[in-house]
Amino acid sequence: MSIHGPILRRLISAPWRTVAVDDRRSWRAGAMLTAAVNLADELSGVNRSDTLGVMLPTGGAFPVAALAGWMLGKTIVPLNYLLAREELEYVIHHSGADTVVTAGPLLEHMKHEPAGARLVRLETLPLARFPAPVRPRGADDGDLAAILYTSGTEGRPKGVMLTHGNLRANIRQIQQWIHFTRRDSLFGVLPQFHSFGFTVLTLLPLSVGCGVAYEARFTPARIVRRLAERRPTVLVAIPSMYNALLSVKDATPADFASLRLLVSGGEPLPRPLFERFRERFGKEIQEGYGLTETAPVTNWLRPGNGPFGTVGLPLPEIEERIVDLDTGRALPPNRDGEVRIKGPNVMKGYFRDPDATREAFDDDGFFRTGDIGRLDARGRLAITGREKEMIIVGGENVFPREIEDVLGRHESVGACGVIGVADPMRGEEPVAFVEVEDGRAFDERALRAFCRSNLASYKVPRRIHAVDALPKGPTGKVLRRALRDLLPDAGPAADLNAQERTRTSTP
């Protein structure tokens, strides 16, 4: 069964119901359905490839574009508008999308149409007219619904293939675990190209009949006002957002009174933040866990379901095991090892990358997360570190290699290494170390500008240090762990405590 079939039926059954509110408008079910059908009609004449790029700000227009693509039997490719143009063009080309649905505010990222792809501006189309005669196509569980690109260990993004069955399974699992009703209303600012925003803030409310309110930009004072005005029952955010809400001086417990659930994912939830939020607003933040490859939610700590420091039990239909890093054998409770996951929500594989797909699964079909954790005697998962050298910046995953590849192209850089260090606002930030080529001058500002022109802004190193020699192994590989000793403020505070790292992977 398709992901869009149940959504379309809900929209048809109650066309007068408000299903979404964003910065620009309120979306009644009938208006969303009409817009999706008309957009599908417009796209049918231009979108010849099997994939459809969607680059839109957070809001009700995103599901309109997704529904239109699925009606035509297309695979949706949510595009990260925070990426640099070169990165965006790579994703569009790699996915094979010949059409990108976008809007005026985001066209600054695409000053020209990417080679082989056409830009369709949503706001210029007559989407409110009487619905066009489009017959929606169905889909089977194994058919591709979306390709979400996530930072790759080798520098290039990898396309995570999620099927209609994967997405339907994760919505079913979340619904069985949390029991959303039509009386619930969700609120969030997360980008919908991110797996967290894609599934939890977009597909979940439309599938179960909840309302949802979107904000395209995160401005703490404005978010507090909107919470007080719209009275949602569920807030979906990342820890750095919750931390920023604490900075709103005139915020009171009354502003958060309507919330029955405050959900956190995407980056570690520090205990001091959890405790400060509870003390000031009388609300406990529940932490979840998952990855883009798992569609994404695998664990969700329900209220009263476990101590702080765990992400709770696995959702229904999901198997989790902890294995020894050397032998791959399953470990008993309270032993640290790699977290591996199996279930109907786990991805089909990486798009056009069969080698990476094979490496991602073990012989028993469990997905290798690369995260380190332990299960207690009751089966609750705690994430205690990670095997992969990944940096989490404001909920977005960044691999050192992709920054190093860019820095290494600069004429003044002989060799370089990148690590993540703790940042109170964004969780972590990338910091770079470079060996300067003989005869060249070190110019940190120029290097940062070079990175900014080739990378998304959140990937640009906050600091770049020149060193005489980088620590290297016998083969000449830079030893990233040893780079921490080169930090000017090296010490316990220079690194994010590995006991507080979780991941709801990237988009």
Tell how far CA 240 is from the center of its chain: 14
Quote the CA–CA distance of 8 and 13 in Å, as a whole number: 9
**Residue-wise pLDDT tens for the chain (507 aa)?**
999 999 999 999 999 999 999 999 999 999 999 999 999 999 998 999 999 999 999 999 999 999 999 999 999 999 998 888 888 999 999 999 999 999 987 877 666 677 778 999 998 888 888 888 888 999 999 999 999 998 766 668 899 999 999 999 999 999 999 999 999 999 999 999 999 999 999 999 999 999 999 999 999 999 999 999 999 999 999 888 998 999 999 999 999 999 999 999 887 787 888 999 999 999 999 999 999 999 999 999 987 777 788 899 999 999 999 999 889 999 999 998 999 999 999 999 999 999 999 999 999 999 999 998 899 999 999 987 766 678 889 888 888 888 988 998 899 998 899 999 988 888 899 999 999 988 899 999 999 999 999 999 999 999 999 999 998 865 556 888 789 889 876 443 333 333 233 333 333
pTM of the model: 0.84
Q: pLDDT value at position 111?
A: 64
Structural domain including 463 reads 391-500
Which residues 6+ apart lie within 8 Å of 246 measured at CB? Answer: 273, 276, 277, 280
Q: pLDDT value at position 401?
A: 81
Give the residue among 3, 1, 507, 66 at the shortest CA–CA distance from 208.
Answer: 3
Q: Is residue 422 part of a domain?
A: yes
Q: Is residue 468 part of a domain?
A: yes
3-state secondary structure (DSSP) of residue 129: coil
* CATH number of the domain residue 455 falls in: 3.30.300.30
Q: pLDDT value at position 315?
A: 97
Quote the CA–CA distance of 255 and 239 in Å, as a whole number: 18
Q: pLDDT value at position 224?
A: 98
Q: Is residue 231 part of a domain?
A: no
Quote the CA–CA distance of 128 and 120 in Å, as a whole number: 16
Q: pLDDT value at position 242?
A: 93
Element (H, E) at 226: helix 220-230
Q: Is residue 472 part of a domain?
A: yes
How many domains, the chain?
1
Give the residue among 139, 173, 136, 169 at the shortest CA–CA distance from 1.
Answer: 139
Q: Is residue 406 part of a domain?
A: yes
Q: pLDDT value at position 306?
A: 74
**Residue 435 one-letter amino acid:** E
Q: pLDDT value at position 440?
A: 92
Please give the full DSSP string across 320-348, using - where no structure is assigned.
EEEE-TTT-PBPPTT--EEEEEESTTS--
Q: Is residue 69 part of a domain?
A: no
Q: pLDDT value at position 500?
A: 32
Check: CB of residue 233 under 8 Å from CB of residue 261.
yes
Element (H, E) at 397: strand 396-398
